[in-house]
Each structure stands twice: as C-alpha cells, then as structure tokens.
Homo-oligomer: A and B are copies of this chain.
C-alpha cells in the first residue's frame, strides 16, 4: 500500500528505481522489493521520499503506519475488537 503509493509518485516524477534508490542510498533491488511490499520502508526513508518526490509527508507516514498495523493483524482473529480496545486505550 505505501509501496504502491510511492511507486506512483516515483513514476509521476519520472524517476527510475535506481535513481530514487541512489538518492535514498539503498540497493535498487531493495527498493523494488519495498515498492512491492516485500520489505518495509524505514520511517526516515518515507520522510526523505516525501521531500524528494514533493509529496505530503503526513499522508505518506499515515499510510506507512497503517501498513505496519495491518501487517501485525492480518492473520489474526478478533481484529475489530482489538482495534477498539486500542482506540479506547489511546483516548
């Protein structure tokens, strides 16, 4: 989800994988995997990408965090009640 979003932004900005990877100082294969959701972006990378691709940092970080949450719950039961509990705790 965040990967797909970043791929869209990258293509809109006419960056090649290796160009964006170079700016982030990571391997092209790594970025390829990240965009396809096989590996995770670091928070700092998301912030850097929002700068490079002139995107809304808050939006990207929100999607990035949603991905992390989704990853921890995706194979679980009682997801909705757990989310409700979390929200209560956060109030």
Chain A residues with a Cβ under 8 A of chain B: 1, 58, 61-63, 65-66, 68-70, 72-73, 76-83, 85-87, 89-90
Contacts and interface: CB of A to CB of B under 8 A. Distances in A.
B69 A73 contact: yes
A65 B78 contact: yes
29 contacts: A58-B78, A61-B77, A62-B78, A62-B82, A62-B85, A63-B82, A63-B85, A65-B73, A65-B76, A65-B79, A65-B82, A66-B82, A66-B83, A66-B85, A66-B86, A66-B89, A68-B72, A68-B73, A69-B72, A69-B73, A69-B82, A69-B86, A70-B86, A70-B89, A72-B72, A79-B90, A80-B87, A80-B90, A83-B83
